[in-house]
Structure 1
Amino acid sequence: MSIPAIHPAWALPPTGITDGYSLEITAKDRPALIEAAAVIPAETPVAITFLPGESIDARIAAAVDVRRLGFEPMPHLSARRIGSQHELEQTVSRAVAEAGARRMFLVAGDPPIPAGPFADTMAMIETGIFEASGIQAIGIAGHPEGHPVMTVAQTWEALDRKRAAIGERGMATLIVTQFGFDADVSIDWLEQLRARGIDCPVRIGVPGPAGIKTLIRFAAHCGVGASATVLAKYGISLSRLLGTAGPDRLVDRFARRLSPDHGPVRLHFYPFGGLSRTVDWIDQYKAPHP
């Protein structure tokens, strides 16, 4: 499956570090997406997270809005939160039929005990539901800072197994990483990925501008490294937790270090401080960095 199956823009080399970026929203962010739509480039990929407490109807409605506004929806599915194969089938078929979804992002999810028959992403992939429904690409997680319950070797093994299974089913693989505050950690991981012969497109997670306490709270929840040294590189001092922080230094570092040798790479923004604020920051950063 070719790179354009993941998104047409991957066939074009970026002219700036923020070109071809993607965004992440929740179902509750629909009004914010509508408000910010005019300044988001057409066909921008927009991931819709699978939050507990949000109904299938709400997630599908968000995906429909993404498509209606001219963007590319990528609904998330959390294996351990899905109660039955029927629920999985209905979610995928509705996302395709109602929102024109062509790609989905799969995670295992946080619950230690699955709500249904799916303990991990492989269990969902192996159902055959995605290719049968017309899904062209599957997103899977990359872990530059490691995984809370797997060794480094196990994370590479799991990624290889998922990538192979997706390819065997005629779909393309996209890797999306968790956000981080240290560009060098992400790039070192990316270089290991390419050294292993894995040439899939990668989206590297970047936190949008947000309150410093909010960023630290999300980091703790997601297991992201946020030591005083790392935060200082990002531009945050633990002695000054008031105010906001943007990813200027982080994105600058990506711009300096990333090269064609790293393969197809784009940024994926997590708008912790609000979607409009993130999109505004991207536009402001892009102006002097074409």
Structure 2
Amino acid sequence: MGVAAIHPAWEVAPAFITEGYSLEMTAKDRDALTKAAPHIAPDTPIAITFLPGETMDARIAAACHVRASGFEPMPHLSARRIASQDELAEMVERLTVEAGAKRMFIVAGDPPVPAGPFADTLSVLRTGLMETHGIKAIGIAGHPDGHPALDSDGLWQALDDKCSEISARGMAPLIVTQFGFDADPFLRWLTDLRARGIAAPVRIGVPGPAGIKTLLRFAAHCGVGASAAVMTKYGVSITKLLGTAGPDALVDALAAGIGAEHGPIRLHFYPFGGLERTVAWINDYSAANGARA
């Protein structure tokens, strides 16, 4: 299955680094999406997170809202938070029928003990529910900064196994990375990814503009490298926690560093400072840098 299964925009190389971006939202962000929608390109992929405090109905309503707003919903499924096969089947059926979802993003999830029969992404994939319900593409997580539960070899093996399983089931794999503050780990990871023969398209995770304390809080929660040296490179003094920061330096460095050898790449924005603020930043950056990025 080709890149068009992920999104038609992948068939043509982007003219500049922010072209063809995707966004993330929670079930609580429906009003924010309504306000930001006029400034988002039609058919933009929007991922809907699977947070423990949100109900199935709320997540499905958010996916329906994404579709009704003219964008492509990509709902998350968190394997270890799903209590049963029936619950998974109901979610997948409702998301495809009610929201017209054609793409899903599957992660193992944070709980150390699964709530039901699904311990990881592969166990969800092996139910066969995704392809049975017409899902065309599956997003999976990439970890350029590493993962606390797996060493490097384990991470690469898991990524390869998931890409192979998705492809074998007639769907297209898409790797979406955790966010980061430094372009260098992303570029090294992309080089290693392609050297290992993993050809799946990649979305690089970029933190949207937000308060510095907010960015550091998310970084600590997600295990993302945020040392003083990294944050200084990002344009933040770790000793000055007031104020806000945007990803200008990071996106500039990615634009300069990503080449044809890295394969198909787009950006995925985590709107820690809010959807409207993130979309405004993307549009401002694109207007100022699109011709040269």
Q: Same fold (TM over 0.5)?
A: yes
Could you say which residue in structure 2 is the equivalent of 1:110?
110
Could you say which residue in structure 2 is the equivalent of 1:83?
83
- Following the alignment from structure 1 to structure 2, what is the Cα–Cα distance between the partners of residues 140 and 32? 26
Report SS of the residue matched to 1:15: coil
Report SS of the residue matched to 1:288: helix
Could you say which residue in structure 2 is the equivalent of 1:208?
208
Could you say which residue in structure 2 is the equivalent of 1:140?
140
* Deviation (angstroms), 1:218: 0.3
Aligned length: 290
- Following the alignment from structure 2 to structure 1, what is the Cα–Cα distance between the partners of residues 238 and 160? 38
Could you say which residue in structure 1 is the equivalent of 2:94?
94
Could you say which residue in structure 1 is the equivalent of 2:43?
43
* Deviation (angstroms), 1:237: 0.4
- Following the alignment from structure 1 to structure 2, what is the Cα–Cα distance between the partners of residues 119 and 102? 23
Task: Report the AA paired with residue 36 of structure 2.
Answer: A
Could you say which residue in structure 2 is the equivalent of 1:55?
55
Report SS of the residue matched to 2:288: coil
What are the equivalent positions in structure 2 for 1:262-277 lying under 5 Å apart? Answer: 262-277=262-277
Residue 241 of structure 1 pairs with residue 241 of structure 2: yes
Residue 33 of structure 1 pairs with residue 33 of structure 2: yes
- Following the alignment from structure 2 to structure 1, what is the Cα–Cα distance between the partners of residues 182 and 61? 35
* Deviation (angstroms), 1:12: 1.2
Could you say which residue in structure 2 is the equivalent of 1:156?
156
* Deviation (angstroms), 1:235: 0.5
Report SS of the residue matched to 2:253: helix
Could you say which residue in structure 2 is the equivalent of 1:179?
179
Task: Report the AA paired with residue 91 of structure 1.
Answer: M
Could you say which residue in structure 2 is the equivalent of 1:222?
222
> Which residues of structure 1 form unaligned runs of 5+?
none
> Which residues of structure 2 form unaligned runs of 5+?
none
Residue 285 of structure 1 pairs with residue 281 of structure 2: no
- Following the alignment from structure 2 to structure 1, what is the Cα–Cα distance between the partners of residues 287 and 2? 31
- Following the alignment from structure 2 to structure 1, what is the Cα–Cα distance between the partners of residues 53 and 221? 18
- Following the alignment from structure 1 to structure 2, what is the Cα–Cα distance between the partners of residues 26 and 148? 25
Could you say which residue in structure 2 is the equivalent of 1:188?
188
- Following the alignment from structure 1 to structure 2, what is the Cα–Cα distance between the partners of residues 194 and 148? 23
Could you say which residue in structure 2 is the equivalent of 1:72?
72
Task: Report the AA paired with residue 151 of structure 1.
Answer: D
* Deviation (angstroms), 1:103: 0.5
Could you say which residue in structure 2 is the equivalent of 1:20?
20
* Deviation (angstroms), 1:238: 1.2
Could you say which residue in structure 2 is the equivalent of 1:170?
170
Report SS of the residue matched to 1:287: helix
CA displacement, residues 206-258 of structure 1 (integer Å, 9 cap, x when unaligned): 00000000000000000000000000000010111100000000000001001
* Deviation (angstroms), 1:197: 1.1
CA displacement, residues 90-135 of structure 1 (integer Å, 9 cap, x when unaligned): 1011000011100000000000110000011110000001000110
Task: Report the AA paired with residue 237 of structure 2.
Answer: S
Could you say which residue in structure 2 is the equivalent of 1:119?
119
- Following the alignment from structure 2 to structure 1, what is the Cα–Cα distance between the partners of residues 288 and 275? 21
- Following the alignment from structure 1 to structure 2, what is the Cα–Cα distance between the partners of residues 260 and 33? 33
Residue 129 of structure 1 pairs with residue 129 of structure 2: yes
* Deviation (angstroms), 1:46: 0.1
Task: Report the AA paired with residue 286 of structure 2.
Answer: K
Task: Report the AA paired with residue 214 of structure 2.
Answer: T
4+ aligned runs moved over 4 Å, structure 1 = none
* Deviation (angstroms), 1:273: 0.3
CA displacement, residues 177-227 of structure 1 (integer Å, 9 cap, x when unaligned): 000001110110011001111111100000000000000000000000000
* Deviation (angstroms), 1:155: 0.4
* Deviation (angstroms), 1:63: 0.4
- Following the alignment from structure 2 to structure 1, what is the Cα–Cα distance between the partners of residues 267 and 165? 25
- Following the alignment from structure 1 to structure 2, what is the Cα–Cα distance between the partners of residues 32 and 66? 11
